[in-house]
Structure 1
Amino acid sequence: MMNLYKRGMIFVTFLGSCLSIALVAAALGTNYWVISQARRTPNPTESDGHIHFGLFQGKKELNVAYGWRTYQFSVLELMRQDIDFMIYGYWLTTVVTTVISLLFTTAAAVFAVINTATTPIGTFTGVPGLYLWNSLTIILQMFAVSFWVAQFSKKLQHNVMSLEDRKNLWTSEGMASYGHSFWFMVAAVIVHIINLNFIYFGTSDSREKKSTVPVTEEKGNGAIMLY
């Protein structure tokens, strides 16, 4: 029964890792790390704009009382054209840590399945490995989240417009916010923290110790009765 409980708890972490893989993949593949509105400073009441972008691609819709115009753009190309658009080092760190965290999440899922089916004795393949892969994933995902928060704080909350748009007096000052792609990463961190809790409570020796207490007491009582 105890072994079944342990394997069941570990299998739950496999499901959690699969959810995390989906969340991180969605964060990489969707273009809503930042969303913002925009206005032209000379005529803010007659102009309107909507911008959203992810780590690689984005979309903006601008209207200056002549109808909406839609533009697709590359985030990397914008950074090449305008060094003030984003801090390249922060962007690169966010991308790299997000991608590597996806690899560690996959490892956590694979070894969770292995530990559900068998009892590996290796450090990296057994229960210590489950702690390792999930912990490394949390660290990497926290790096991605932290560097994007720093990026937003230093650059994106003040401006998400291209250099050309700024020359045309467009501004997004104070109108930007985090999009759901960013929150996917935050959710993935929470999932792995939950995974660590399942691993701890599923593999802790405390339950086994509790289950052996009655047996010990019974033996002690038997010895007393014998004397």
Structure 2
Amino acid sequence: MNFFKRGMIFVTFFGSCLVLGLIVAALGTKFWVVARAKRVSNPDESDGRINFGLFQGRKDLNVAYGWRTYPIDMLELMRTDRELLVHGLWVGTVGCLAASLLFVTLAAVFAVINTATTPAGALAGAPGLFVWNCAALVLNVTAVALWGVQFFQKLQHNVMSQEDRDNQWYSEHMASLGYSFWFVVAAVVMLTVNIVVLYVGVARTREKKSPEPMLEEKTNGAIMLY
């Protein structure tokens, strides 16, 4: 394996580390959705700010008597309020991100191995790097798509719990996708860059190797002529 190819593969190691950080941040932060809220009875005096991630969140509500802060436990909320989210879309989003962490970790580990040596097996070598990065890319794209469906199907219309809805709170058309979601989009972009870098490194190496059989054939012909 030539120096250029090793260098390009090592670049993907840093890309994989960045993707790992983005996915972990997306899973751990609380801003997959951000929204404002009002009360039907006094919309001019009331105000609410809500944000939550896949597991935790926070809501600040003001009914004209001052702000009050409440934590949001998404697992508990989904258990008590079946109408808030599509449970299958939430499970799919979390599952895709968790699986992508595994594949990105494999991509990072094998990028280091391929930089230091030339593994014998295909999955441990450059073909495997394509597999791990492509699998992670597909999983992250799927997570983005699932949460997009979740948002447009449910969350853009309401992010308030049943208890809040009973107290006349509403958030329709006041919600947007938060930065935790965009971390996953950034991971998709970075994985695409990784795949392009791998392709450039492998393709250039093949281009350099392709004339060698012709040179060998000419050398053999010259020997026979002699």
Shared fold per TM-score greater than 0.5:
yes
Alignment of 1:2-81 (within 5 A): 3-81=2-80
> Which amino acid is the alignment partner of residue 29 of structure 1?
G
2-structure distance, mates of 1:119, 1:105: 20
Identity of aligned residues (%): 57
1-structure distance, mates of 2:122, 2:212: 27
Q: Which structure 1 residue ranges, 4+ long, deviate > 2 Å from structure 2?
A: 209-213
> Which amino acid is the alignment partner of residue 179 of structure 1?
G
The answer to whether residue 174 in structure 2 is matched with residue 193 in structure 1 is no
The answer to whether residue 105 in structure 2 is matched with residue 101 in structure 1 is no
Partner of 2:110: 111
Partner of 1:154: 153
Alignment of 1:147-186 (within 5 A): 147-186=146-185
Shift of 1:75: 0.7
Relative to the length of structure 2, the TM-score reads 0.92
RMSD: 2.1
Shift of 1:6: 0.6
SS in 2 for 1:125: coil
Shift of 1:207: 3.7
1-structure distance, mates of 2:39, 2:163: 13
Q: What are the ranges of 5 or more consecutive residues in structure 1 without an aligned counterpart?
A: none
SS in 2 for 1:60: strand
Partner of 1:208: 208
Q: In the comparison of the two structures, how many residue pairs are matched?
A: 221
2-structure distance, mates of 1:94, 1:140: 9
SS in 2 for 1:32: coil
> Which amino acid is the alignment partner of residue 15 of structure 2?
G
2-structure distance, mates of 1:176, 1:182: 13
Partner of 1:127: 126
Shift of 1:36: 0.4
Shift of 1:21: 0.3
